[in-house]
Amino acid sequence: MNKWDCNFNENFDRFPVAMAYVPWQRLTQVYEDLDEGLKNGTIFPELYKPFTGRRCCQ
C-alpha cells in the first residue's frame, strides 16, 4: 500500500494526531488597492499565503 493512499475511511487509524503552532499576527500593512485584497481573500498582505501544495490523489 502506498503511504499516500487516499482511502481515509479505511486507513484513518494510521494518521497521527497533529499539533499546530500559530504565531501572533502583526498586521502592519493594508492593500491600497482593495480590489487586489478582495482577489487575494484578505486586505492584509501579511496574511496572503497562497497554497502551493498538491493534492493527495491525482
32-52 pLDDT tens trace: 999 999 999 999 998 898 887
Instruction: Give a yes or no: residue 44 inside a domain.
Output: yes
Are 47 and 25 within 8 A, CB to CB?
A: yes
Q: Which of residues 6 and 40 earns the better pLDDT score?
A: 40
For residue 33, give its domain range. 19-49
Residue 9 lies in a domain: no
pTM: 0.47
Classify residue 13: in a domain, yes or no.
no
Structural domain includes residue 38: yes
Residue 26 lies in a domain: yes
Domain assignment of residue 23, yes or no: yes
| Number of structural domains in the chain | 1
Give the pLDDT band of residue 22 (cuts 50, 70, 90): confident
Whether residue 34 is contained in a domain is answered as yes
CA dihedral 55, 9, 17, 47 (to 10 degrees): 30
Close Cβ partners of 7 (under 8 Å, ≥ 6 residues apart): none
